[in-house]
Structure 1
Amino acid sequence: MRPTTKTCFLESPTNPTLDVLDIGAIADIAHRHGARLIVDNVFATPIWQSPLALGADVVVYSATKHIDGQGRCLGGVILSSEAFIQDHIHMFLRQTGPSMSPFNAWVLVKALETLALRVNRQTDNAAAVAMALAGHAKIRRLVYPGRDDHPQAATVKKQMRGGSTLVGFEIDGGKAAAFRFLDALRLVLITNNLGDSRSLVTHPAITTHQRLTPEQRTELGIGDGFIRFSAGLEHKDDLVADLMNALDAA
């Protein structure tokens, strides 16, 4: 924190390594220095984590992810106190016009009706995938917030009501092995999106984090064999079978 710090921003769990940060503790630090805390809650979803109740001042979502959850439209959400919205958001929207179309708004509102059902199923599938991959000979590292071996398991239990719909794992053999794995998938699709009704994977080192140097990615734990898996609504047995078959090819 510096004297000029006005705002702190974090995401928890983080993309793509699923680190979990203590939102309450960070909010206390920010508030002691007169700053606000903004939390990106996309990976936890509003089903499993409530940052405002933990001390955050603002919560943001890419509504394209779990809230729509079916790859239909783009959107975003900003949640805060009425005073903050009036002072900082309302006039910005009114003067600059970044409002979504009525149809997209309708799609997102309708999607909220099934959000809990979808996220619960996706979380169950993610947990099943994590269990199946744990201990596999070709998996060097596996990270899932719903497991007791997660690096911040105590924080997860304190502030999250469920694991997450995402699993991170590193395949032994680096980029070449990861690419063989990706090419061998039949049910799971390759894309940078997440939180969809279909299960998705991405290779962060060449997509979401490709602008970082190799040294920066290594520091963040994003190796060339690291894969981010987003669980969909398929049957868990089909997902596990697809991933295991792909690992045989890795």
Structure 2
Amino acid sequence: MSIVTTLCKIYKNAGLHPVTGYNSHHFFNWRDAPFTVFLDGSGFVGCPGLALQEVMFLEHLGSYLTPANCLVIGNAMGWSTLATALTFPKAKTVGVDNAAKTGIDFTNAAFKSLGLKGGAVLGESPKDIGRIVGAEFDGKVDFVLIDALHENDAIQADFHAIREHATEDCVYLFHDVINWNMLSGFKALLADSGLEGCVLTRTPSGMAMAYSPALPADCRDYLAVFSDDTNFFQRYRHTVRQNMDTLALFDQELP
């Protein structure tokens, strides 16, 4: 069974309907249409998290990586933390959030229900990272998902705080890099660290990944499916912009 089935069921069974994976063009070009929030009896709950397509990307990434200790910065309602734990079921996964107590409680209940190792804790990155890693893990972290404050300085601070407590071959996955204009921060942390990386231009948020030069070739091949040379990406965008009137001929009104 795919993890997306399990993931959606755990929320639906709690009365939280996942709203995720939509095409922005179908929603009046609303940027956040692909990203996951939840609908309960009174309205929408949570901050926009990994899109359905990004969860599917993460699931298959699990075919190439075997981490032991996974850290998620930005737990919210637990969607990304649970997706990471389901992707790497043999690992211990801990989500960190500085405010969402309801989400922390829900995440921990879901971990217990699914028999997963780990859960969610209250804390703030970067200042609490050392304490949390020391308290929650028996060793260093080797997979990290960063989806917290969407600023260039913030992702660099999160990265450097975590790297002190990470293995040499730790993989760092960043959400919303293109959508929130964080390419300069991502490039800076690569330059500072000596790690390699790629921008996953074919994910809805424009995720990015930093990794050791020792990353296996088959994993690199998988990442290449979701990424472009950034110069090509910019040229393609320019071509689309120059031809918007022609492309609009393909628009159709939905029934």
**TM-score, length of structure 2 as denominator length:** 0.28
Q: Which structure exhibits the higher relative contact order, with contacts defined as CA atoms closer than 8 Å and separated by 6 or more residues? A: 1
**TM-score, length of structure 1 as denominator length:** 0.29
Q: Which protein has the bigger strand share?
A: 2
